[in-house]
Structure 1
Amino acid sequence: MYDVIISGAGPIGLFLACELRAYGVRTVVLERREAIDPTLKAGAVSGRGADILTRRGVVDLLGDLPSIADLMKGRKPGAGSLQAKTARDGAMPRGHFAGLWILRGGSSTLSAFVLAPQQRIEEGLEGRARSTGAEIRRGHAVEAIDQDDAGVTVSVSGPDGPYELRAQWLVGCDGGRSVVRKTAGFDFPGLDGIMTAYQAMADFDDPEFAPMGWHRMPRGLMVHGPHPQRVLVAEFDGPPADRNAPITREELEAAVRRVSETSVTVTAVHSVTRFTDNTRQASTYRRDRVLLAGDAAHVHPPFGGQGLHLGLGDAINLGWKLAATVRGWAPADLLDTYSAERHPVAERVLHNTRAQVALLRPGPRVDALRDIFTMLAETPEANRLLTDLMGELDVRYGGTGDHPLTGLYCPDLTLKTAAGDTRVADLSRRAGALLLDLSDRADVRDAVRPWADRVEVVTGVASSDDGEAGELPDALLVRPDGHVAWAGSDLAGLGEAVRRWFGEPAAPAR
């Protein structure tokens, strides 16, 4: 019997498999597709998603990545393009809100973008998952589930016919139309869409038919670039009649012509997808031994590229907690904190994507709203708030103590250790918990020694050029997902925090 079955070999399911295998959890991933989905999806990851991929070393698996300048070379940027905004301001924005390149600040100390298509990220994650011992079965689809007190039985259709698999836990990472969510009885409340949109990689008889960038047109929204073949068009006159119907070249061409107000011809379609702006979220992410992550737990329009980093945040939060439960050292309610912590984060994303759709609609009334919104967003406080909101950079989970860092994502500090300089990002590659002893205190190290099998102690001095070193406590207890569970300069609360997140020690404290 497996420990965990994951349904879905997209980026979230594959990342979760890597997290579980870091703890030796017996994991199998079932995916109905025979190969990675070639459909155009996220072209980059920003914000917390970029941090997560960097801290787990996934970016190193992707090879040489292009820059925005590489993609824009030889192209004329429109007024609504990232390149034009960068030229005007002298610095590249960290993202956009409803096509407004207004995001500059924020809390992350790592890369603003990982400019890699989702398929490339999936290739890297699948290679890592397989190399660490995860079993990945492509062409195998979950059809039904039956759970009891001891585990979950999954009915699977595979290339050689139907069969059953048994595991302690099942995680649905199988997308917005999740079979796991439906068969396990999760509710999925939310709002229906009002928009029909197409995103495509295509060839055009006139590659310069529209300037690069975001353009609100009288008939809808037009986005061209940053890749010259990439186009997105949206019309706000209702959702698609049938989202599952094949998309023809003629259908895409007609939509592009209507919105762009040109007679451009689509000469070839390399990839195209149709979507709407429905927003839905499961009321809870756990029903007994079945859990949800990524789009299986929440759906929203892709504006701002939040879907991928939201799902990665789910996976990195769930992975170590599920592994601890399988391994038997998790506190009784640890797994319940997954839904409690991640549900509000996705709820906020659904809320801001609804606001973005409202700001993207055509018409002079919305023009006025966008003008006022842009003016307000240019203020430093509002800009930081929006940047953190879009990048999931200000998420604070529960923790022990009242230090300002408690619950937040740990800064990527440079530490001077006896073994040489290292960074928190480098230490995080092992996917374990950390006790950062920043003042070389034996009593701090002794306090967590009984948990040596779960918490790695690193003694070092934070570099003075980090900008945050003067505000740091003597020690930080960092969860495997990168969030600070405890921070302080006296030991009050440290023992409580270690037990809260990592259970009772394997051996009695001495």
Structure 2
Amino acid sequence: MTATPDHDVLVSGGGPVGLMVAAELALAGVDVAVIERRTEPDTTIKAGAIVRSAVHALDRRGLLDAALAVQQRVMAEFTRAAPRRSGPPTGGHIAAFPLRLDLLDVPEDGPDDGPMPFMVVIPQHELETILRDRVAELGVPVHRGVDVVGIEPDDAGVTVGLSDGGPRRAAWLVGADGGRSVVRQAAGIGFPGTDPEITGRQALVELADADDLEGGWHHGPDGVWCLGPAPGRILTVEFDGPPADRDAPVSAEELEKSLRRVTGSRARVTAVHSATRWTDNARQASAYRAGRVLLAGDAAHVHPPFGGQGLGLVLSDAMNLGWKLAEVVHGTSGEELLDTYDPERRPAGEAVLELTRAQVALMRPDPKTLALRRYAADLLNTHVGVNAAAALLAGPDVHAPIAGSDDDPLIGRLAPEVRLDDGRRLAEVARDGRFTLVTDGTVAGPGDGRTTTVRASGVRPMLVRPDGVVSRCAPRS
């Protein structure tokens, strides 16, 4: 006899994607719990911003104001301690080419562009704080200091072995446990991709004798480096192969030697507050689902952090998976709905992996690549080049393969941020995670208890899923 599940869903991993999946499920009334191996939240320096897709995900759930408050504080800190720079103002980079802000078309915020079209500057650990508060508000238990040591899936659910002694039973298991996912490996899901060739280091440090270092992104014959924008933040990339031990503590001596090698400076690292190593290992799971086991975030795809698209990618995974899994748990939809998760999210993962691979190729310090970079620099110093690069970094514009999407560009994409007749933005209606029917008055709502009907004059009627994607719309006139 199959054991009764302890939870509808167990989520392995309490990082951004695991917390977002859990929040989406709890919002939909699913009994969900999170298993996290770390005993305390991870405050290691990681990503420093979220791109457009993540911005819109937070906006649809009422979390954007909290992120914008963090950005306001962080940007004030950046301004007070900005490292010395020369030339026109820049923001972000692609392949270590700083993007010139004076050439960038930044649309004004408005109902058609969304609240923040490009990005929000927020350290990853502060985003996690917002999401932890969210799951706590929704009553989701988070069990810290517990490892998943094995899984036994069957037709009715998954028995999850845990390091704290007893197994737990769930109808569904979501692996959001990172690039070395125990869940993915235990489920027998492959992880093909390309092997690493670089060692990247990022840290918050105190520097001395660094007056010759200029802020921003730089590329030279010995690698890539960046100083700022956060006070004391340094980043180096060397093309001498992956680190021998990626998990070993990162010392001041190691950071100082790397910084000196790539910059030629005599700068000294006198203290380390936070540091990490990373590589350009780029892989994607051969399947995002194996029966009752599903993958999200780095468990489904890993890539180097160039361009800052990682958080946008994983939060979009969570938004897509959350509502679908909730529908299946409640019996509102059949399991075949979960079969749409992989084909809808895989192209986005592929696009990010390809963009980061291209950036690594363009950052190599060999003579042929250095020659190529001179031509690329000319292109990226033009209005067209800067805006094309910014569009790439804003996140992949994936057209989900939904019925009718081949004939209508609106179907399968994030809904436009229209202004409703009552003055609200469309995203403001989505706080409860329900479907939204936008009508001009000619289409009636389904009255199924799962859909909120709103009116927007002059807008084509459309049905918007809980993740913000348009699933149906009226024919174009």
Query: What's the TM-score, normalizing by structure 1?
Result: 0.85
Aligned length: 459
- Give 5+ residue unaligned stretches, structure 2: 1-5, 108-112
Q: C-alpha offsets along residues 407-456 of structure 1, whole Å, 9 cap, x if unaligned?
A: 11111111122xxx10012112222211101x212xx115x23xx22221
Aligned counterpart, 1:139 = 145
1:47 aligns with 2:43: no
Once residues 44 and 74 of structure 2 are traced to their aligned partners in structure 1, the CA distance between those partners, rounded to angstroms, is 22
1:433 aligns with 2:435: yes
Once residues 262 and 144 of structure 1 are traced to their aligned partners in structure 2, the CA distance between those partners, rounded to angstroms, is 49
1:72 aligns with 2:79: yes
Contact 1:102 1:374 in 2 (8 A): no
Which secondary structure state, in structure 1, belongs to the residue aligned with residue 30 of structure 2?
Answer: coil
Contact 2:198 2:240 in 1 (8 A): yes
**Residue 137 to residue 193, structure 1, CA distance change in 2 (3 Å):** same
1:234 aligns with 2:237: yes
**Residue 407 to residue 252, structure 1, CA distance change in 2 (3 Å):** same
**Residue 287 to residue 382, structure 1, CA distance change in 2 (3 Å):** farther
Aligned counterpart, 1:478 = 464
Amino acid aligned to 2:424: T
Once residues 259 and 60 of structure 1 are traced to their aligned partners in structure 2, the CA distance between those partners, rounded to angstroms, is 39
Which secondary structure state, in structure 1, belongs to the residue aligned with residue 333 of structure 2?
Answer: coil
| CA drift at 1:385 | 4.9
Once residues 383 and 254 of structure 1 are traced to their aligned partners in structure 2, the CA distance between those partners, rounded to angstroms, is 33
| CA drift at 1:398 | 2.3
1:36 aligns with 2:41: yes
1:456 aligns with 2:452: yes
| CA drift at 1:353 | 0.4
**Residue 110 to residue 395, structure 1, CA distance change in 2 (3 Å):** farther
Corresponding residue to 2:94 among 87, 93, 97: 97
Amino acid aligned to 1:85: P
Contact 1:43 1:115 in 2 (8 A): yes
Amino acid aligned to 1:414: R
| CA drift at 1:485 | 0.8
Once residues 290 and 429 of structure 1 are traced to their aligned partners in structure 2, the CA distance between those partners, rounded to angstroms, is 27
Corresponding residue to 2:180 among 177, 191, 201: 177
Contact 1:200 1:273 in 2 (8 A): yes
1:115 aligns with 2:117: no
Contact 2:81 2:231 in 1 (8 A): no
Once residues 379 and 456 of structure 1 are traced to their aligned partners in structure 2, the CA distance between those partners, rounded to angstroms, is 45
Once residues 308 and 258 of structure 1 are traced to their aligned partners in structure 2, the CA distance between those partners, rounded to angstroms, is 30
| CA drift at 1:38 | 1.7
Which secondary structure state, in structure 1, belongs to the residue aligned with residue 272 of structure 2?
Answer: strand
1:149 aligns with 2:146: no
Which secondary structure state, in structure 1, belongs to the residue aligned with residue 115 of structure 2?
Answer: coil
Contact 2:177 2:183 in 1 (8 A): yes
Which secondary structure state, in structure 1, belongs to the residue aligned with residue 150 of structure 2?
Answer: strand
Once residues 81 and 384 of structure 2 are traced to their aligned partners in structure 1, the CA distance between those partners, rounded to angstroms, is 36
- Give 5+ residue unaligned stretches, structure 1: 87-92, 463-471, 492-510
Once residues 236 and 169 of structure 1 are traced to their aligned partners in structure 2, the CA distance between those partners, rounded to angstroms, is 41
| CA drift at 1:139 | 0.8
Amino acid aligned to 2:7: Y
**Could you say what the CA RMSD is over the residues aligned between the two structures, in angstroms?**
2.2
Higher relative contact order (CA 8 A, sep 6+): 2
1:16 aligns with 2:17: no
Corresponding residue to 2:30 among 25, 33, 40: 25
Tell me which moved more, 359-368 or 369-378.
369-378
Corresponding residue to 2:134 among 120, 128, 131: 128
Once residues 388 and 10 of structure 1 are traced to their aligned partners in structure 2, the CA distance between those partners, rounded to angstroms, is 27
Once residues 227 and 386 of structure 1 are traced to their aligned partners in structure 2, the CA distance between those partners, rounded to angstroms, is 23
Aligned counterpart, 2:89 = 85
1:445 aligns with 2:469: no
Aligned counterpart, 1:192 = 195
Once residues 456 and 381 of structure 1 are traced to their aligned partners in structure 2, the CA distance between those partners, rounded to angstroms, is 41
Corresponding residue to 2:316 among 305, 313, 316: 313
Contact 2:344 2:400 in 1 (8 A): yes
| CA drift at 1:73 | 3.0
| CA drift at 1:394 | 1.7
| CA drift at 1:476 | 1.0
| CA drift at 1:173 | 0.5
1:405 aligns with 2:410: yes
Which secondary structure state, in structure 1, belongs to the residue aligned with residue 166 of structure 2?
Answer: strand
Contact 1:47 1:393 in 2 (8 A): no
Aligned counterpart, 1:267 = 270
Contact 1:72 1:227 in 2 (8 A): no
Query: What's the TM-score, normalizing by structure 2?
Result: 0.91
